[in-house]
Amino acid sequence: MRWRGERESGNIEDRRGMPGGGLAVGGIGGLIIAAIAYFLGFNPSEVTQQPTDQAQTTTDPNDTLRHYIGVVLASTEDAWTAIFNQMHKQYTDPTLVLFTGQTDAGCGLASAASGPFYCPADQKVYIDLSFFDELTSRFGASRGDFAMAYVLAHEVGHHVQHLLGLTDQVDQQRQNLSESGYNKLSVKLELQADFLAGVWAHYNQKNLDAGDIEEAMSAASAVGDDRLQKESQGYVVPDAFTHGTSEQRVYWFKKGYTTGDINQGDTFDDPSLN
As to burial, measured by CB atoms within 10 angstroms (0-12 exposed, 13-18 middle, 19+ buried), residue 87 is: exposed
User: Could you tell me which of 227, 242, 253, 241 has the C-alpha nearest to residue 27?
Assistant: 242
Residue 233, pLDDT > 60, answer: yes
Calculate what percentage of the chain has a pLDDT beyond 90. 41
Query: E strands within 77-196?
Result: 95-98, 102-105, 108-111, 117-119, 124-127
The helix (H) or strand (E) run that includes residue 153 is helix 145-163
Residue 30, pLDDT > 50, answer: no
**Mean pLDDT value across residues 243-265:** 92
How many whole angstroms separate alpha carbon 185 and alpha carbon 183?
5
245: left (phi over 0), alpha (psi -120 to 50) or beta: beta
pLDDT of residue 178: 87
Model confidence band, residue 237 (pLDDT cutoffs 50, 70, 90):
low
Cβ neighbours of residue 165 under 8 Å, at least 6 residues apart?
none
Q: How many residues does the chain have?
A: 274
- Check if the beta carbon of residue 241 is closer than 8 Å to that of residue 223: no
Q: Which amino acid would we find at residue 253?
A: F
Q: Output helix, strand, coil percentages for the chain, rounded to the nearest 5.
A: 55, 10, 40
User: Could you tell me which of 45, 55, 252, 239 has the C-alpha nearest to residue 150?
Assistant: 252
Task: Output 153 or 4, whichever has higher pLDDT.
Answer: 153
How many whole angstroms separate alpha carbon 264 and alpha carbon 192?
10
CB neighbours of residue 179 within 10 Å: 9
Q: Which amino acid would we find at residue 195?
A: F
How many whole angstroms separate alpha carbon 64 and alpha carbon 69?
9
Taking all residues of the chain, what is their mean pLDDT, rounded to a whole number? 79
Residue 234, pLDDT > 60, answer: yes
pLDDT of residue 137: 54
What is the phi/psi pair of residue 168, to 5°?
-65, -40
Domain ranges of the chain: 12-266
Query: E strands within the chain?
Result: 12-14, 95-98, 102-105, 108-111, 117-119, 124-127
For 70-120, the pLDDT digits (tens) are 999 999 999 999 999 999 999 999 999 999 888 999 998 888 877 888 999
